[in-house]
């Protein structure tokens, strides 16, 4: 009988649920049968949090909710549901009440900030020719190309949406810092993780796309959170 909790994975800006592909494979190898990856619209934090809540609500048992990048803001907003047992942040935003991803970004601008470009419809893109060096410099150029071409741009206004009651204040949490991150400054990641007082912090010598470049380590952290919940 599988007693492992369900893992729900939440992606961030400039990508979709498929960014979790390698982590999904690792977790499956570890014996996780119940895995879900949310496909968020990236139209506003309330919209994305509601989409995530709806998926969590379909799970009958305990959930480990995992967020990458902006997905950390989503799980902070959506993670207060009673069956969410743990939160795992992967190179992610973890805003406090009233804080937004955009406000946090301004505290320490990331290296790749100049490579963002808005379009005429209000969406914010990562310039395709700068995607690899900005988002996933530790992946192959071919993988970077695919991510660039398939990127999912958020509405720029989403950056300014504040979190209301962050779930990390109420649930046990884990955090992975990417020390070579060019999308969320490592200084911001450390500050956010420090104040969360997580059960564990893992620092990886990785790009923002640690979920793709270091899937074994990311899956191991998720597994550690799940084991703590199960015990």
Q: What is the pLDDT along the chain (231 residues), one digit of tens a residue?
A: 568 999 999 999 999 999 999 999 999 999 999 999 999 999 999 999 999 999 999 999 999 999 999 999 999 999 999 999 999 999 999 999 999 999 999 999 999 999 999 999 999 999 999 999 999 999 999 999 999 999 999 999 999 999 999 999 999 999 999 999 999 999 999 999 999 999 999 999 999 999 999 999 999 999 999 999 987
Structural domain boundaries of the chain?
6-109+158-230
Contact 19, 210 (CB under 8 A): no
CATH of region 6-109+158-230: 3.40.50.1820
Catalogue the E-assigned strands of the chain. Answer: 6-10, 35-38, 63-68, 84-90, 116-118, 124-126, 173-178, 200-204
Closest CA to 209 of 117, 115, 144, 113: 144
Q: Is the pTM of this model over 0.75?
A: yes
Report how far apart, in Å, the C-alpha atoms of 134 and of each of 51, 117, 128, 145, 199 are.
28, 13, 10, 12, 30
The encoded tokens of residue 93 equal 């935003």
CA distance 150 to 227: 34
Closest CA to 52 of 24, 28, 71, 32: 71
CA distance 28 to 26: 5
């Amino acid at each position: 009988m599988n007693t492992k909790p369900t893992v729900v994975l939440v992606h961030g800006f400039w990508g979709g649920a498929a960014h979790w592909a390698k982590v999904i494979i690792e977790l499956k190898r570890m014996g996780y049968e119940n895995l879900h990856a949310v496909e968020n619209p990236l139209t506003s934090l309330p919209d994305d949090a509601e989409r995530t809540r709806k998926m969590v609500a379909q799970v009958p048992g305990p959930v480990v909710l995992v967020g990458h990048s902006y997905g950390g803001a989503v799980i902070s907003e959506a993670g207060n549901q009673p069956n969410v047992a743990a939160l795992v942040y992967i190179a992610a935003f973890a805003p406090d009440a009233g804080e937004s991803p955009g406000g946090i970004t301004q505290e320490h601008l990331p290296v790749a900030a100049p490579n963002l470009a808005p379009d005429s419809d209000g969406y914010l893109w990562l310039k395709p020719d700068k995607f690899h060096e900005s988002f996933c410099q530790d992946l192959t150029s071919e993988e970077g190309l695919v991510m660039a071409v398939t990127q999912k741009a958020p509405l720029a206004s989403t950056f300014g949406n504040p979190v209301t009651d962050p779930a990390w204040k109420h649930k046990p949490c884990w955090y992975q810092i990417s020390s070579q991150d060019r999308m969320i400054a490592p200084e911001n990641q450390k500050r956010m993780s420090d104040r969360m007082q997580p059960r564990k912090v893992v620092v990886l010598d990785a790009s923002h796309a640690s979920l793709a470049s270091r899937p074994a380590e990311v899956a191991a952290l998720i597994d550690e959170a799940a084991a703590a919940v199960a015990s």
